[in-house]
Amino acid sequence: MRKLEQGESAAVLTLGALGVVYGDIGTSPLYTMKEIFGPQTGIALTPDNLVGAVSAIFWGLMVIVTLKYVLLILRADNRGEGGIMALTALAAHAVGANARRRRMLLLLGLFGAALFYGDSVITPAISVLSAVEGLEVATPAFKPYVLPICIGVLIALFAMQRYGTGLVGRLFGPVILLWFAVLTATGVAQIVQHPAILAALDPLNALVFLQAQGWHVLVVVGAIVLAFTGVEALYADMGHFGRRPIQFAWMGLVLPSLSIHYMGQGSLLMRQPEALENPFYRMFPDFWLLPAVALATTATVIASQAVISGAFSMTKQAIQLGFLPRMQVRYTSVKEAGQIYMPGVNGLLLCAVLLAVVGFGSSSAMASAYGIAVTGTMLITTLLTFFVVRHAWKYPLPLVLAATGAFLALDLLLLVSCAIKFFDGGWFPLLLGLVLFGSMSTWRRGREQLFEGINREDPELLPFVTALARQVMHRVSRTAVYAVASPATVPQALLHNLKHNQVLHERNLILTVVFHELPWIPFSDRVQVEAIAPGFWTVTVNYGFKNAPDIPQALELCKAHGLPIDLFETSYFLSREIVVPSRKAGMARWREALFALMSRNAGSVAAYFRLPNNCVVELGTRVQL
């Protein structure tokens, strides 16, 4: 019975992985072949070129997706979690006490995360737009309505985010399963009519095709890379489903289905070159065209959903690792902590996606903007993996270079191929990434300077509370919790409370919250309690970057450490720093102004740590950088 339950669980996880993880890469056939032989590449639509292009796609799926991600990078999990932020934390931890290398890896991972946001904007835009463009194939009369329909679908998609992915999650797997079944069936139907396309299974045809392009190969590879977009989702969503279900779904269904379908498109174009206008939809009989558009639109919405959810999760991780200010986080499931909704991120993403759709106007125009963010993230993932394999797994350097060097060279080729499309739209996701990278690095550096200034000016905690405990003053029969960034100094809120109210609580907790470069911290390690003076304790609360911060819940754990706390008789005193830019040496003037702006607009501490609103006292203090 236990084996049966485990089997059923594995099947459910595999189905879920199929829906969430593979929606993006699974919808690439909507536009990839059309772009490879589009007028911008100048590749002649000949049988030899079709075999070579399909062969390049097939072997790219084998090498980049199967070998690199499915077999290598999925092994680099951070206690079961994946994604570039988790990999960054793992690589930084692997290099140990080397502060310079650690900082370099953090900045590298930060830039990769910023590029992921660019992908989060382009993916919904190009996926939904390419699906709705199928209406033009049904009848040209639909052409004026393609853009409005696409905008309406995207607005509905982002509007439903507040209800959580759990609402539609049960439909993801079956719909994408149907999608891959349709890809397989249409591919087989075309291949049997012209089996010569099966020559694409020979890797020599891919090499001959690419070599024949000369320097023009960069343009061709820049279009072929569209077949691999979404590959980062394999790694990013590992924490939701586990390594095995993702591997089973890829090897058992997704890889065969995509391979057969791309060969089917190649077979169709060999017989009907005029189908290049939209080879995906030309594979369907006329009476199946509108249902195919409906299915493709649903599949692209699911693909977009996975990227949007990934943006929410990555933002939360970045906040807890200290790279972004606090933002409102809503938990949309009582069972799954990973199902969250962030209104601010959702609104910004929607605005950026709509700008991309209106600005580019078509999926072909947007295809030029798609590759840079994806290939940049892939390259950074490979670099970070090198440090994990070398320093965490302790493999010999020659073996590590062999394992990652070939992938690094391939990633560089893909990145350079996409970079030549910079002025054709590639600047868009790169600009988004650079803006986000500048903001995230500024926030990190600004917080470091802020804490350094506070530590210099505030008195030391232990001598202060020891002397304070000896004084005779009025004590309030409640518990006061003072949140502080560093337990070595006196909280500003405590100083203000003594100065203005001239009272002291019977029990005073100096609370420090520490976010670790680990995904999860168990309850057994959640809190540390130390008595430092009569009526004073230091309490350290530990969270991983996937944990949901909840201070009242953490304080209940203090009872096991000899400090029972009545939450109904507890007040929370918070210090809110009002940052004022200065002309002192440190950050550039514009970065100080940006940090001050981000600090003023940061989300509420009370809401972020789930503090009860009627028990919070917030005291402000002006701090110069």
According to the 3-state scheme, what is the secondary structure of 484-553? Answer: CCCCCECCHHHHHHHHHHCCEEEEEEEEEEEEECCCCCCHHHCEEEEEEECCEEEEEEEEECCCCCCHHH
Which pLDDT tens digit goes with each residue over 116-175? 888 788 888 888 888 888 888 777 888 888 899 999 999 988 988 887 655 555 567 788
pTM: 0.80
What is the rounded CA–CA span in Å between residue 114 and residue 376?
A: 10
Q: Given this model, what pLDDT does residue 261 score?
A: 97
The β-bridge relationship of strands 504-516 and 536-544 is parallel
As a whole number of angstroms, the distance between CA 416 and CA 435 comes to 21
Q: Write the pLDDT tens digit of every residue in 510-525.
A: 999 998 877 889 999 9
Q: What is the mean pLDDT of residues 590-618?
A: 86
At position 168, the amino acid (one-letter code) is: V
Would you place residue 6 in the very low, low, confident or very high pLDDT band (cuts 50, 70, 90)? very low
**In sequence order, which residues have a C-beta less than 8 Å from that of residue 573 and are 6 or more positions away?**
480, 481, 482, 483, 491, 493, 494, 497, 617, 618, 619
Q: What is the mean pLDDT of the chain?
A: 86
pLDDT at 99: 81
Instruction: Provide mean pLDDT across the span 89-95.
Output: 86
Give the gyration radius of the chain's Cα atoms.
27
Q: By C-alpha distance, which of 611, 607, 551, 600 is closest to 577?
A: 600
Phi, psi torsion values for 364, nearest 5 degrees = -65, -45
Q: Which pLDDT belongs to residue 2?
A: 33
Give the pLDDT confidence of 368-394 residue by residue, as tens digits: 777 788 889 899 999 999 999 998 888
Q: Which residue has the higher pLDDT, 451 or 624?
A: 451
Buried b (16+ CB within 10 A) or exposed e, 556-576: ebbeeeebebeeeebbbbbbe
| pLDDT of 5 over the 60 cut | no
Per-residue pLDDT at 510? 94
CA-CA distance, 371 to 562, in Å (whole number)?
Answer: 56
CA dist 461 and 440 (Å) reads: 31
- For 554-563, what is the mean pLDDT? 94
pLDDT score, position 51: 97
Give residue 320's pLDDT band: very low, low, confident or very high (50, 70, 90).
Answer: confident
pLDDT of residue 314: 82
Rounded average pLDDT over 406-423: 90
Residue with the bigger pLDDT between 81 and 600: it is 600
Q: What is the rounded average pLDDT of the residues 547-566?
A: 92
Q: 4 pLDDT band (50/70/90 cuts)?
A: very low
Q: Which of 270-279, 466-475, 514-523, 542-551 has the highest mean pLDDT?
A: 270-279
- Alpha carbon distance 302, 298 (integer Å): 6
Question: Please, are residues 146 and 135 in contact by the beta-carbon 8 Å criterion?
Answer: yes
Question: How high is the pLDDT of residue 532?
Answer: 93
Could you give the CA distance from residue 78 to residue 56 in angstroms, rounded to a whole number? Answer: 33
Looking at residue 276, what is its pLDDT? 92
CB-based contacts of 597, cutoff 8 Å, min separation 6: none
Q: What is the pLDDT of residue 169?
A: 53
Q: What does the pLDDT average to over 556-575?
A: 92
Confidence of residue 350 (pLDDT cuts 50, 70, 90): very high
Task: Give the list of residues 6+ apart from residue 186 with CB closer than 8 angstroms, or none.
Answer: 261, 264, 283, 284
Question: Higher model confidence: residue 619 or residue 480?
Answer: 480
Look at residue 17 and tell me whether its pLDDT is greater than 90.
no
Which pLDDT band, with edges at 50, 70 and 90, does 263 fall under?
A: very high
Mean pLDDT (whole number) for 311-317: 82
The arithmetic mean of pLDDT across residues 243-271, rounded, is 94
Percentage of the residues of the chain whose pLDDT score is greater than 70: 93
pLDDT for the residue numbered 49: 95
Asked if residue 3 has pLDDT above 70, the reply is: no
Per-residue pLDDT averaged across 5-27, rounded?
73
* Structure tokens given for 107: 């900045």
